Structure 1
């Protein structure tokens, strides 16, 4: 995949969103199906968005994830989250990639031939996805994994999975965790039934079970005990950006739905339009401002984090928390402005509201992000004492 300028990549995302994602969004939601067509289109043209250029990728960072994610989120939130998790996992694999990782994962990803995703959350640790209980043992030249991962986006559709485990090295300290990458056909990996959610119905979230899943040591990412480094230097920034931008797209779609309704709606008894009413104008203006200031926070935080700025992660934590509240508020206002027409179960606002509510649920939770931000501002340990 040759170097692609950011504007060109965003334009490609917009074209694919209009031609492939948006026309299928309602069906993906109603049928609770993984968006195979949309994911294939995005993977083929933008799969290597964050893969380094030396591995054939585009070499972009967080700002690209933010801009592409907003475009795809506006068209179909489920597809956007699925593709976003591919981008996060790609960045994790690339962060300390060996020659094996480049050949086996990054180059196929850059060529649009490989889909990857995250498998970090576990049933017993709730929103604290960085605290793995999956065990990893060393048996000769192999690493053997036993445990379970919950809410794995892209379910069994991915070609590889970035998995967190308890560190297995002889010199590993208690509480140390590691990251590995598993191929989708790894023996000992099985899947639970599809998860059925209120929203984000197409993300194919499932539970992964690992029962003595064996893999070569070449699949270890970084060194033993590096997982916390990955979480705060790669996973958290990319994960927060992918989620925040998707929900920004959902909020933007709801705002446009309300604006379009107001422009075309006319009272037959008086001939006046809703757009001419000052109260409606005020409400829409306030909605626009909320979406726009959230967008600027996300983009600025991504830019700051790309540059290694000291407040990059702080901004991204706040961005994900802000967009969760903004999307919910803007969609509720859009429902009010569009009245009975917008409230129809067949309309897009119904889907947007259900999808947006997941922004508070997907870890890190909104309250957790607010606490992290406060701790950082008060020079306290992010994870507490």
Structure 2
């Protein structure tokens, strides 16, 4: 994304505005979103009205012109309060990165104004988490439009977004491994299957979608035919992986903070001692805090690497989600154990964070895939072998 205008005054304004939306809407709604598995529409609408969904859009279309660091801080704070809302916004920004680079001005302006929610539609039944190997097809029609056919396995904000950044095989054979399209919501042939009733992130609206004879304009192609994988790896992946790490950091930090409050505020009546008076409990809390702070430092270095164009920026981006997924799983698990039976009660919010944290490992690229990518980069191999390109 372009035309970034990060500065201290603007950052303070964004932080204050976000805090107000969190206090007034997102935090009060978080347990309801989780309990009922409902899409967090009030929170998303409040963020949009406050101008927080267009933060990274270029100033030339009315956006905030902020960079990845600002958006990462936003996702971190949202995740600390409501994982479902944070994931919806995360996917919106990952898709916005493509639209900012290759999309039509009117959609960019709509996103900048807060009037347009977008998301990614990459994973498919045929290739699952291997988003770089689409199965769905794009076929040129006689009237100049393009027909899309695919079975997408997981699409965040399915049926709720205003558009989808959609992957397919290329129009022209051998043009490349993937082509990306901007698919408007509500088109004939585009359908959503069922409801999402998952373990965690229960309100993120992640559901299967099907395109059956869906028609889009040929002008809806994002970048060149066959260039979708390069766009996905070069434009989407840094935003998606870094924001996932910020998401994990928000969950981990809030879980560690809740564990600290519990140890400090809970007293054993029969002894008069607080839980914090036990050295083992303090040690375990310290471990959670150190793991969380280590992730914060690594995420900060990853952002610095990207901003400075360092040689290790790609490696850091691949590493940060892998580290974050393992960290948040361990920290939320440790916080549950540290708080004992109290952690199982809904009012603490720990069990919700524990469940939400499980998603990071399996969201594509999965932790296992990222470990392989890191190993390939570290040993001089291409990120994907030719068979997968």
Deviation at 1:146, TM superposition (A): 1.1
2:78 equivalent in structure 1: 72
CA–CA separation in structure 2 for the residues paired with 1:42 and 1:3: 20
Where structure 2 has 5 or more consecutive residues not aligned to the other structure, the ranges are none
Asked if residue 31 in structure 1 is aligned to residue 36 in structure 2, the reply is yes
Aligned partner (choices 107, 112, 124) of residue 110 of structure 1: 112
Alignment check: 8 A CA contact 2:133 2:177 kept: no
Indicate how the Cα distance of structure 1 residues 176 and 384 shifts in structure 2: closer, same or farther if over 3 A, else same. Answer: closer
In structure 1, the residue corresponding to 2:159 is in which secondary structure?
helix
CA–CA separation in structure 2 for the residues paired with 1:238 and 1:80: 14
CA–CA separation in structure 1 for the residues paired with 2:53 and 2:338: 38
In structure 1, the residue corresponding to 2:186 is in which secondary structure?
coil
1:135 equivalent in structure 2: 137
2:157 equivalent in structure 1: 154
Q: 240-249 vs 345-354, which deviates more?
A: 345-354
* Number of aligned residues: 378
C-alpha deviations, 1:181-212, integer Å up to 9, x for none?
01102221111111321111111111111111
CA–CA separation in structure 1 for the residues paired with 2:310 and 2:13: 26
1:233 equivalent in structure 2: 234
Give 4+ residue runs of structure 1 displaced > 3 Å after superposition: none
Alignment check: 8 A CA contact 2:175 2:225 kept: no
Alignment check: 8 A CA contact 1:149 1:209 kept: yes
Alignment check: 8 A CA contact 1:81 1:242 kept: no
In structure 2, the residue corresponding to 1:286 is in which secondary structure?
helix
In structure 1, the residue corresponding to 2:358 is in which secondary structure?
helix
2:168 equivalent in structure 1: 165
Listed as ranges, the matches of 1:87-98 within 5 Å are 87-97=93-103
CA–CA separation in structure 2 for the residues paired with 1:297 and 1:34: 32
Q: 272-281 vs 77-86, which deviates more?
A: 272-281
CA–CA separation in structure 1 for the residues paired with 2:76 and 2:275: 28
C-alpha deviations, 1:81-109, integer Å up to 9, x for none?
00111111111111134xxx111x11011
Alignment check: 8 A CA contact 1:62 1:305 kept: no
- Tell me the TM-score normalised to structure 1 length: 0.94
CA–CA separation in structure 2 for the residues paired with 1:307 and 1:216: 38
C-alpha deviations, 1:58-95, integer Å up to 9, x for none?
12222122111100000000100001111111111111
Deviation at 1:41, TM superposition (A): 1.1
2:266 equivalent in structure 1: 265
Deviation at 1:150, TM superposition (A): 1.7
Listed as ranges, the matches of 1:20-59 within 5 Å are 20-44=25-49, 45-59=51-65
C-alpha deviations, 1:25-77, integer Å up to 9, x for none?
11111101100001111122211111111111112222122111100000000
Alignment check: 8 A CA contact 2:75 2:90 kept: yes
Asked if residue 6 in structure 1 is aligned to residue 6 in structure 2, the reply is no
CA–CA separation in structure 2 for the residues paired with 1:378 and 1:3: 37
In structure 1, the residue corresponding to 2:333 is in which secondary structure?
helix
CA–CA separation in structure 2 for the residues paired with 1:245 and 1:93: 22
- What's the Cα RMSD here? 1.7
Asked if residue 279 in structure 1 is aligned to residue 284 in structure 2, the reply is no
2:337 equivalent in structure 1: 336
Alignment check: 8 A CA contact 1:77 1:247 kept: no
2:190 equivalent in structure 1: 189
2:122 equivalent in structure 1: 120
Alignment check: 8 A CA contact 1:155 1:204 kept: yes
Deviation at 1:241, TM superposition (A): 1.8
In structure 2, the residue corresponding to 1:164 is in which secondary structure?
strand
Alignment check: 8 A CA contact 1:61 1:306 kept: no
CA–CA separation in structure 1 for the residues paired with 2:102 and 2:65: 15
2:89 equivalent in structure 1: 83
Q: 145-154 vs 274-283, which deviates more?
A: 274-283
